[in-house]
Every structure is written in structure tokens, then in C-alpha cells.
């Protein structure tokens, strides 16, 4: 057995960390906190120029041909730097789907621009009445000659206000079971009938509701077959090898450690000498290690070509729930000062702990709630009967 990621990954880590140290500036961080928008044109340009836009892609398509473990290393560093990559993430994800199932015309129209950072693609999956049960989507697409007419609304279309395209899950058939009547489109955002309304969230991130009112889209923008949208969705969802939150937890711990070394209690004792503080810091370090191992296992299995059942869900479930619990623990040991936000210049460690307390909540919800992941583990991993 060998728990090292390997020399190539560690060399890559050093190189990418140096890159991020230059490009994720304090000013950029503040801009992201203030606007709630995890995307920045200048930073995206730097990523593209550095070859970091889609480093897992083959070199001839603009990537670096990195393997899953090297990609994991890149992801760990992005998380460590808290880099604004949400818009890049969705854009590259959709480019990956188009590369897998798109037409030649779609590939040449989208992929070069996506990898050059010239366009932003956002996701239109969730709806007011379809969150975890995303296949219940009701947004209608009806055929009209060579075009489709779309009506409905989507929740959590993050970055729709700056998006060039929305990757839209629609219902094209109501006479079949719900998974069999879905079709996916890449819809240009710059057209009449699309309205975007800002939604602000607990973590400060801005997302949107987007409305589609008689929006016309050419059939050439259909991604995958008619009524085969669920297959296309599956390509999109498995492109993500399993999320994990060890990196944000490590940011949280680093902030709490920096606080503990400096802070004193009312009697002038260093807070790092308090057994309760030490226990909480130790427990956080443990959960980071476990989260890291669970996520690295997923990357290793992908690299080794082993069949995965529940390793991805275990990584996402454990690390998001642990992030939430440990963020609360850090607030508890820091005490009242932990309540000061990022925007208060006296906040301990620039308000990282307060921000993580809020940010962590979302991690247990988006990309499949903890309950969805528990269902997958119980059924696929443990072989328990279908839960309800």
C-alpha cells in the first residue's frame, strides 16, 4: 500500500500553489465575498493562460492530460486557496458532456470558447418543485419545426447573470415515466423570454431564479437524444468523481490555529493551552484527514479503473457533514469574537470561521443532499431495500 499521491502530483501541487499565490489576491477574495459571485474574468484569463482551465483534458484539446490523482491535487489546491471557480467548474462540466455526447457542430461551436474562458455556461437543473428529485423537472420544451419552445423556471442557476448559455433540463414527454421524458438543451442566454432574478444565500453567494417564457431554441442546441436527457444528465453527474471538503476544512483549521496561538483568555492564558481548544482542534484535524482519504480513494479508484459504488457519496456525505460540525466547534471555542464577519476588520482571521459556519450549510445540500447520498450508500453499497 502507498498513501502518497506520487511525485508528479506533488510537483504539480507546488507549481499550482505558486500560481494561485500570485493570482488569488486579497483584493480578488474581497471582491468575491462582497459580490457573492464565484467567477472573475481576469482570474479565468490567468487560468487559461497558465493551462489550468481544464487540465484533465488531453493536450490537443487545450488541457494538460492530467490523470485523476493529479486532478485531485489541483482541486485540493483550488479549495485551499478558495479560488473563484464556480463558473469555470460548470462551464468545463458542460464542455465535458458536449465532448462526450454532442454533435460535431456543437463541439466546434462550444468547446474552444469554453476552454479559452470566453464563455460561461450555467446549470439549469433544479426547479421550485424539483430539487433532490431533479428528474421531476417540469420546464416544458415543445417542438415547433426545427425549433423548440421552452416555458418554465429554474432554481439556483448560479452565475446566470453573467452566463452565455444555460444547460437546461426540460420535459419533452409527459406520457412516460419521469426519467424517460427529459431532454437537455444548451440555450443561449442572450435572447428574449429569459429573465434572471437574483437570489442571495446564507453563505453570501449570489445565485438566481431564471424564468423561460416562450424561449425559442434551435434543435441544433439539443444535447443528446430527445427524451434521453437523463442519460445526458448521468454523463454530467459522473464527470464529477465525488466531491469532498477537506480543503475548506483545512482553511477553517488554519484560521482557528492562528487564532489559538495569538488569543488569550481573561487571565492572560494562551488559548492554545486550553484542553477544550486542543481537543476541538485535534478533532478537526482528524476529520480533515478522513475527508482527504475518502476523496483520494475516489481519485485512486478512477485512476486504477476500479468499479465504484458508494465511494463518491461517502466522500461527499462525510466531509460536508464534518465541515458543518467542525465549523460550529470552531465558533464555540473562539467564542463571541467568532461572530464578527469578514466585513469587520477586527474579525479573527479575517472572518474565515464565521464565513465557514455559513458556507458549510450549503455543502450538505447542493450536488445532492446528505439524504440523497445516504440513500445511495444504503441501497448500492449496503444492499438494503429501496428506502422511502
Partner 1 sequence: MELRPSDEQQLLIDSYGSLYAKESSPERVRAAEPLGFDAALWDQLVEQGSMSMAVDEAHGGWGASVLDLALVAELHGQALAPAPLIETQVACRLLARVGGATADALLADALDGRRLVTTALRRPRQGVAQLVPAGAVATDVIVRDGDRLVVVPAGDDRVVPENVGSLPLADVPLSKTTDPVAIAEGPAVDTALDVALDDWLVLTAAALSGMAGRSVEIGVAYAGERVAFDQKIGSFQAVGHRLADCATRAEGAQLLAREAAWAFEEEPDRGPELAAMAFAFAAAAARDCSDWSLHFHGGYGFMLEYDIQLYYRRSRAWANVVMSPAAACRRVADKRYGPAGGR
- Strand 182-188 to 222-223 pairing: antiparallel
Closest approach of Cβ 202 to partner 1, in Å? 24
Range in contact with partner 1 (rule: CB under 8 A) among 4-12, 35-43, 145-153, 207-215:
4-12
Note whether 8 binds partner 1 by CB under 8 A.
no
- Roughly what angle, to the nearest 10 degrees, separates helices 104-115 and 86-101? 160
Instruction: Let me know: does 120 contact 113? Beta carbons within 8 Å.
Output: no
In the set 80, 297, 324, 359, which binds partner 1 (CB under 8 A)?
297
In the set 296, 326, 350, 355, which binds partner 1 (CB under 8 A)?
296
Q: Strand pairing partners for 215?
A: 150
Separation of alpha carbons 379 and 368, rounded Å: 16
In the set 191, 286, 341, 344, which binds partner 1 (CB under 8 A)?
286
Note whether 6 binds partner 1 by CB under 8 A.
yes
In the set 95, 314, 347, 356, which binds partner 1 (CB under 8 A)?
314
Instruction: Let me know: does 210 contact 154? Beta carbons within 8 Å.
Output: yes
Buried b (16+ CB within 10 A) or exposed e, 120-139: bbbbbbbbeebbeebbebeb
Range in contact with partner 1 (rule: CB under 8 A) among 100-108, 122-130, 289-297, 336-344:
289-297
Note whether 113 binds partner 1 by CB under 8 A.
no
In the set 66, 69, 95, 217, which binds partner 1 (CB under 8 A)?
69
If the CB atoms of residues 128 and 381 are measured against partner 1, the closer one turns out to be 381
In the set 178, 179, 206, 283, which binds partner 1 (CB under 8 A)?
283
Q: How many CA atoms lie within 13 A of 186 on its CB side?
A: 28
Note whether 17 binds partner 1 by CB under 8 A.
no
Instruction: Let me know: does 51 contact 66? Beta carbons within 8 Å.
Output: no
In the set 104, 146, 268, 382, which binds partner 1 (CB under 8 A)?
382
* Per-position x/- string for 255-274, each x denoting binding to partner 1 as judged by CB under 8 A, each - no binding: --x------------x-xxx
Residues in 315-334 at the binding interface with partner 1, rule: CB under 8 A = 317-318
Closest approach of Cβ 20 to partner 1, in Å? 23
Cα–Cα distance list, 120 to 124, 159, 160, 190 (Å): 13, 8, 9, 12
If the CB atoms of residues 209 and 280 are measured against partner 1, the closer one turns out to be 280
Note whether 57 binds partner 1 by CB under 8 A.
no
Closest approach of Cβ 360 to partner 1, in Å? 17
Note whether 254 binds partner 1 by CB under 8 A.
no
Beta-carbon contacts of 52 under 8 Å, excluding residues fewer than 6 positions away, are 16, 19, 74
In the set 169, 281, 347, 352, which binds partner 1 (CB under 8 A)?
281
Range in contact with partner 1 (rule: CB under 8 A) among 33-41, 155-163, 288-296, 350-358:
288-296
Applying CB under 8 A, the site for partner 1 has a residue count of: 49
The burial class, CB within 10 Å (0-12 / 13-18 / 19+), for 358 is: middle
Cα–Cα distance list, 288 to 48, 68, 178, 251, 376 (Å): 30, 20, 39, 10, 23
Instruction: Let me know: does 245 contact 363? Beta carbons within 8 Å.
Output: yes
In the set 45, 107, 179, 278, which binds partner 1 (CB under 8 A)?
278
Residues in 349-378 at the binding interface with partner 1, rule: CB under 8 A = 371, 373-375, 377-378
37-248-278 Cα angle (round to 5) = 140
* Residue 93 backbone phi and psi in degrees, to 5: -60, -45
Torsion of CA 218, 165, 89, 37, to 10 degrees: -160
Q: Of 251, 244, 224, whose CA–CA distance to 106 is shortest?
A: 224
Applying CB under 8 A, which residues contact partner 1?
1-6, 69, 257, 270, 272-275, 278-283, 285-286, 289-290, 293-294, 296-297, 299-300, 303, 310, 314, 317-318, 371, 373-375, 377-379, 381-388
Amino acid at each position: 500500500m502507498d498513501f502518497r499521491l506520487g511525485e508528479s502530483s506533488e510537483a504539480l501541487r507546488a507549481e499550482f500553489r505558486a500560481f494561485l499565490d500570485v493570482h488569488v489576491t486579497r483584493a480578488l477574495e474581497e471582491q468575491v465575498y462582497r459580490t457573492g459571485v464565484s467567477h472573475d474574468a481576469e482570474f479565468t484569463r490567468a487560468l487559461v493562460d497558465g493551462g489550468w482551465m481544464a487540465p484533465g483534458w488531453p493536450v490537443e484539446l487545450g488541457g494538460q492530460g492530467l490523470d485523476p490523482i493529479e486532478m485531485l491535487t489541483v482541486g485540493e489546491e483550488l479549495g485551499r486557496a478558495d479560488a473563484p471557480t464556480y463558473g469555470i467548474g460548470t462551464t468545463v462540466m458542460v464542455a465535458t458532456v458536449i465532448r462526450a455526447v454532442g454533435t460535431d457542430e456543437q463541439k466546434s461551436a462550444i468547446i474552444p470558447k469554453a476552454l479559452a474562458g470566453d464563455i460561461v455556461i450555467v446549470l439549469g437543473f433544479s426547479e421550485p418543485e424539483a430539487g433532490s428529485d431533479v428528474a421531476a423537472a417540469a420546464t416544458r420544451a415543445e417542438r415547433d419545426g426545427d425549433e423548440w419552445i421552452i416555458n418554465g423556471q429554474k432554481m439556483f442557476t448560479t452565475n446566470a447573470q453573467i452566463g452565455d448559455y444555460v444547460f437546461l433540463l426540460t420535459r419533452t414527454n409527459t406520457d412516460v415515466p419521469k426519467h424517460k421524458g427529459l431532454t437537455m438543451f444548451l440555450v443561449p442566454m442572450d435572447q428574449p423570454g429569459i429573465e434572471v432574478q437574483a437570489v442571495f444565500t446564507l453563505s453570501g453567494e449570489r445565485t438566481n431564479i431564471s424564468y423561460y417564457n416562450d424561449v425559442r431554441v434551435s434543435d441544433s442546441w439539443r444535447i443528446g437524444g430527445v427524451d434521453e436527457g437523463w442519460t445526458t444528465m448521468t454523463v454530467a453527474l459522473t464527470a464529477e468523481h465525488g466531491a469532498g471538503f477537506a480543503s475548506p476544512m483545512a482553511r477553517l483549521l488554519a484560521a482557528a490555529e492562528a487564532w489559538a496561538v495569538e488569543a488569550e483568555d481573561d487571565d492572560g492564558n494562551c488559548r492554545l493551552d486550553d484542553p477544550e481548544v486542543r481537543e476541538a482542534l485535534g478533532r478537526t484535524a482528524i476529520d480533515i484527514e478522513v475527508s482527504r482519504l475518502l476523496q483520494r480513494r475516489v481519485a485512486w479508484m478512477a485512476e486504477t479503473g476500479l468499479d465504484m459504488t458508494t465511494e463518491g457519496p461517502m466522500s461527499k456525505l462525510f466531509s460536508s457533514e464534518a465541515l458543518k460540525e467542525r465549523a460550529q466547534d470552531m465558533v464555540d471555542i473562539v467564542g463571541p469574537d467568532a461572530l464578527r464577519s469578514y466585513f469587520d476588520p477586527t474579525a479573527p482571521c479575517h472572518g474565515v470561521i464565521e464565513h465557514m459556519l455559513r458556507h458549510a450549510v450549503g455543502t450538505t445540500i447542493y450536488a445532492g443532499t446528505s439524504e440523497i447520498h445516504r440513500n445511495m450508500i444504503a441501497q448500492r453499497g449496503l444492499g438494503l431495500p429501496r428506502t422511502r
